[in-house]
Structure 1
Amino acid sequence: MSTPQTSPDLRPRPRRSVLYMPGANERALEKAKTLDVDALILDLEDSVAPDAKSDARERVATAVESGEYGHRELTIRVNGIGTPWHDADLARAAKAGPDGIVVPKVNSADEVRALVAAIEKAGAPEKTKLWAMIETPIAILHVEEIAAASDRLAVFVMGTNDLVNESYALHVPGRAPLIPSLTWALLAARAHGLSILDGVYNDVKDLEGFAAEARQGREMGFDGKTIIHPGQIDPANEAFAPSAKDVETAQGMIAAFEEAQAEGKGVATYNGKMIENLHVRDAQRILAFHEAIAARG
């Protein structure tokens, strides 16, 4: 079981933009090597027709094994638990050794433990983590138990389309029907040291709407956003990265606090605002994330 976290990760891996790519489309897999995206989800589920599942499985595994995707974090989304393709997908993905295996509709801690056991039995390397999609009402109701189920679980991926569908809600600007579920999942992720990714934005032509939803996700505390079109990469990267002003402020806060400590003071002021340890930790996290983005190359 994972241990609750009491402080932020100061060396986060950038996951600002996480792009779904259809596993059956060889041209798409080739194009993904050139995109300025932090992570890729090579998909064997929704984007692949039943009669193409087997070929897509091998194509995606071979792509992962190629080592040709540079800094991009590589994951494989397998077909869901109980489908005819799940077991073979999981075994082949584990053998390929991606950074993560994304599993749809994870609904319980028991499912997490079973998935981890299967991944390990198939010989996955230590670096291959479990990414659980949280996309049903029952998953939301058990999300803290899911988050705590295994140290191999690293990321929550919000399946907002399915959440809306299964809640009988509506897609509306501002996502009011989803806010309680998103917040509950985010709290569970933070309590157990997981990363968490916001769901997709369906209208690929509405970049203004996408940018607004990405900003909302960042304000809520998400690490990044899953996306479905290359045109959404730049606004996602911008929304979830510290701005130049954020970096300058973080540097100034840390300098002011260090100066105050040198003078024997427990608190400091910066731009008229009081600075305490918790503000410094947040500033350190911002700078570490900024440096991690720059280090991608």
Structure 2
Amino acid sequence: MTIPIRPRRSALYMPGSNARALEKAKSLDVDCLLLDLEDAVAPDAKDLARTQIGDAVAAGGYGEREIVIRINGLDTPWGETDLQMAVKSTADAILVPKVNAPSDLQRVAHMLSLHNAPSKLQLWAMMETPEAMLNAAAIGACGKDPEIRLSCFVMGTNDLAKETRARLTPGRAAMMPWLMTCVAAARAGGIDILDGVYNAFQDEEGFASECAQGADMGMDGKTLIHPKQLAPCHAAFSPSVDDVAWARKINDAFDLPENANKGAIQVDGKMVERLHADMGKRVIMIADAIAARA
């Protein structure tokens, strides 16, 4: 499926049980809001959280921010009711927790069809279990099936650490094979992918380092647990002024009539290929989308 180009540098979790947080989210400089009904909400607050998220999304005021509702699993007492609320809302996507295989997404997609979900409503998949890591390629391939509506992976590194007993250490050496596997699976399926959260939100240096690592790996952005993480996250995942200028220069060069049939040309003493121009076009579109939100 064709995914619209839009910035997903930051995706901030907001517990649905916290009405004040849902209101504050309207004023935050964030690309995506993950309105949470799952991990961040205690069992006795699930119904309240569902009502508050439904009311908040219906009231609007979130501007250009992408609204994503994380539901509880369909095998829980709350999952189906969560999904029905999300379908009736004007949310952009539903985040499905603990996706283990394509069948999990197929099941949710089937329910979206039964409930006549609007065509714009997408599915995002939490990649947070050992089974998901082993089935990453097959799950990512769901992005090519328009009936499933998959548009983004979200890495759940805390749950993944819990389930595998791998340690979350600085540099994330133990996580790296799974993170890169999921990046490859996402790209093969034509979808975006967001890095996992950084728990020590007071550790600004450590957070900035992990953001830079995620950007180097090819992640489109990072999930966050606190608003103070927004600025360094955007700094890491936004194209730099130099990157945008270089991308425009390459594309302008290939647009010249004399280069129309060339696969490689020289720009400022460097050999560049058309694949570099294609990469540059995405950089330009992301930069333009960010500028349009300012």
Same fold (TM over 0.5): yes
* Alignment equivalent of 2:247, drawn from 233, 250, 258: 250
**Which residue pairs with 1:53 in the alignment?**
46
Structure 1 window deviating more from structure 2 (94-103 vs 259-268): it is: 259-268
Matched residue count: 290
Q: 1:14–1:293: 8 Å Cα contact kept in structure 2?
A: yes
RMSD (Å) for aligned C-alpha atoms: 1.7
**Which residue pairs with 1:228 in the alignment?**
225
**Which residue pairs with 2:59 in the alignment?**
66
CA–CA distance in structure 2, aligned partners of residues 44 and 172 of structure 1: 28
Question: Do the aligned partners of residues 247 and 50 (structure 1) sit closer, same or farther apart at CA in structure 2, a change above 3 Å counting?
Answer: same
Q: Highest relative contact order (Cα 8 Å, sep 6+), 1 or 2?
A: 1
Question: Do the aligned partners of residues 255 and 103 (structure 1) sit closer, same or farther apart at CA in structure 2, a change above 3 Å counting?
Answer: same
Q: 2:253–2:259: 8 Å Cα contact kept in structure 1?
A: no
Deviations 1:39-75 (A, max 9, x none): 1000111111111110110110111122210010001
Alignment partner of 1:268 is 2:265:
yes
* Alignment equivalent of 1:153, drawn from 143, 150, 155: 150
TM-score norm. by structure 1 comes to: 0.93
Alignment partner of 1:198 is 2:195:
yes
SS at match of 2:223: strand
Alignment partner of 1:177 is 2:174:
yes
Where does the alignment leave 5 or more consecutive residues of structure 2 unmatched? Answer: none
Structure 1 window deviating more from structure 2 (249-258 vs 50-59): it is: 249-258
Residue type at the aligned position of 2:80: D
Residue type at the aligned position of 2:48: D
Residue type at the aligned position of 2:285: A
Where does the alignment leave 5 or more consecutive residues of structure 1 unmatched? Answer: none
Question: Do the aligned partners of residues 63 and 258 (structure 1) sit closer, same or farther apart at CA in structure 2, a change above 3 Å counting?
Answer: same
**Which residue pairs with 1:96 in the alignment?**
89
Q: 1:95–1:123: 8 Å Cα contact kept in structure 2?
A: no
CA–CA distance in structure 2, aligned partners of residues 58 and 265 of structure 1: 58
Q: Name the % identity.
A: 51
CA–CA distance in structure 2, aligned partners of residues 123 and 33 of structure 1: 28
Residue type at the aligned position of 2:93: G
**Which residue pairs with 1:118 in the alignment?**
111
Structure 1 window deviating more from structure 2 (32-41 vs 86-95): it is: 86-95
CA–CA distance in structure 2, aligned partners of residues 190 and 60 of structure 1: 31
CA–CA distance in structure 2, aligned partners of residues 262 and 159 of structure 1: 45
CA–CA distance in structure 2, aligned partners of residues 124 and 266 of structure 1: 44
CA–CA distance in structure 2, aligned partners of residues 270 and 96 of structure 1: 49
Residue type at the aligned position of 1:176: A
SS at match of 1:176: coil
Deviations 1:84-113 (A, max 9, x none): 111111111111131000111011111111
Alignment partner of 1:289 is 2:282:
no
Superposed, 1:10-25 pairs within 5 Å as: 12-25=5-18
**Which residue pairs with 1:189 in the alignment?**
186
* Alignment equivalent of 1:32, drawn from 25, 34, 39: 25
**Which residue pairs with 2:36 in the alignment?**
43
TM-score norm. by structure 2 comes to: 0.94
